[in-house]
Amino acid sequence: MVEARIRVIYGDTDQMGVVYHANYFRYFEFARGEYFRARGGSYRDVEREGLMLPVVEASIAYKSPARYDDVLLVHVRVSELKRASLTFHYDVRREGAPETLLCTGQTVHACVGRDGRPTRLPPVLVALLQMAV
């Protein structure tokens, strides 16, 4: 598991002063990038190999709202690794005592080549991701 820290900016909130629901997907994306970096790789490295990991499914269960200037802790881990796809799981919490669970979610990613066709996850990427499965 990797923890990414994000401070909510004013532009992330809606008229009610809470984080707009779709922004959590941006936080997930940020955490995925941190996940790769924490394991010695990057998404850019994946693209250099001619591969992409598009999101093919995404879900969130909201528990409590985040607000402007909150510091969010996004915990991300790989929960499933298949031949040509992987699933990330996320817990988003408000930093503080006690930490408050704000939402949980997951994204499923297909491994595709530059032509957009599904392809096997390369061994180097599997090894990087298996460190946490």
Catalytic residues: 14
Phi, psi of 23 (to 5 degrees): -65, -20
The answer to whether 44 and 72 have CB atoms below 8 angstroms apart is: no
Residue 22 has which token pair? Answer: 């779709």
> Which residues lie closer than 8 Å to 5 by C-beta, 6 or more apart?
71, 72, 73, 74, 95
User: For residues 108 and 110, what is the distance between their CA atoms, to the nearest angstrom?
Assistant: 7
Amino acid residing at 131: M
Helix (H, G, I), strand (E, B) or coil at 23: helix
